[in-house]
Amino acid sequence: LVIVNPNSGPGAPPLPDANYVREIARLNGYANVVTVGYIAINYCKKPLSEALEEVQTYATWAEDYVRTGLGVGGIFLDETPNLSSPEAVEYLAVLQDRIKRTPGLLENTRPHPISAVSHMSEKGEVGEPDIDHLEDLQVIQNPGTPPDAPLANIGPDLILTCEEPYSRYRSNEVQHRLRLLHYDRARCGFMIHSVPVDDLRPLVHELRHRAAYLFVTEFFGEFYERFGPNSWTAMVEASQSQP
């Protein structure tokens, strides 16, 4: 799963710059990769009309997919709320419905798809995900913590239930909420940064039982703009080994 974010969203229509056009097409050529377009909704404070326009901008990328290979398979909704309200439920339900019905998102139209989140089996295999499951990842919510049940019950395909620095992930507060609002592992993703290098391997061993999609890095800053010199290799190696 690769999150595509040209400019805190799709940027100005109709297309991203040439570097994104080239590299997104390359990513879409891999059978075990699904690209998703980034939209920040500011905890449902962004006008819904603006969020819907950004969905449509991503969809237009694929107008000539057969020739260009450009497009995204779904939408990554950042800054979704974790506390439920009738307004938030309605906002997210309308947005999700539009995403699911929008022609031009590749999982609606594709003929056979930048930070990356790796899929892992509970036993620890990485790199060979269930392709059918990947292609179902059209709507991803990122509240960064387990959301209240009414928000999860809207039915996003994946929820980022933990996006924290390592020290806070270990806190009693975070662990309590993860236990209190427990969602199926196949629908969950964890993104943990600022991890001490010596803790990378045991952390991956732990997290692969809690979530199917993981991003782990030792970086303290700009951790979504680059891969750590140790964490990417360590994460892959740890995912394939036993504790």
The predicted pLDDT at position 210 comes to 94
Mean pLDDT estimate for the chain: 88
- What is the tens place of the pLDDT at every residue in 101-153? 999 887 644 433 344 566 666 665 544 444 444 557 799 999 999 999 999 99
The predicted pLDDT at position 113 comes to 32
- Residue type present at position 125: E
- Non-local (6+) Cβ contacts of 133 within 8 A are 119, 186
Residues forming a β-bridge with 193: 165
The predicted pLDDT at position 111 comes to 39
DSSP 101-157: H-BTBHHHH-----EE-EEB-TT--BS---HHHHTT--EEEE-SSPPPHHHHTT--S
Residues forming a β-bridge with 115: 3
> For 20-29, 87-96, 187-196, 214-223, which range has the lowest pLDDT when averaged over its residues?
214-223
The predicted pLDDT at position 230 comes to 76
The predicted pLDDT at position 127 comes to 46
Question: For residue 26, is pLDDT > 80?
Answer: yes
Question: For residue 217, is pLDDT > 50?
Answer: yes
d(CA 129, CA 200): 21
**Which of 227, 115, 94 is closest to 160 using CA atoms?**
115
- What is the tens place of the pLDDT at every residue in 31-85? 889 999 999 999 999 999 999 999 999 999 999 999 999 999 999 999 999 999 9
Q: If DSSP codes are grouped into helix, strand and coil, which group holds residue 133?
A: helix
d(CA 28, CA 214): 20
d(CA 6, CA 35): 13
- What is the tens place of the pLDDT at every residue in 159-180? 999 999 999 999 999 999 999 9
d(CA 103, CA 51): 16
Element (H, E) at 130: none
The predicted pLDDT at position 49 comes to 98
User: What number does CATH give the domain 2-239?
Assistant: 3.20.20
Sequence ranges of the domains in the chain: 2-239
Question: For residue 225, is pLDDT > 70?
Answer: yes
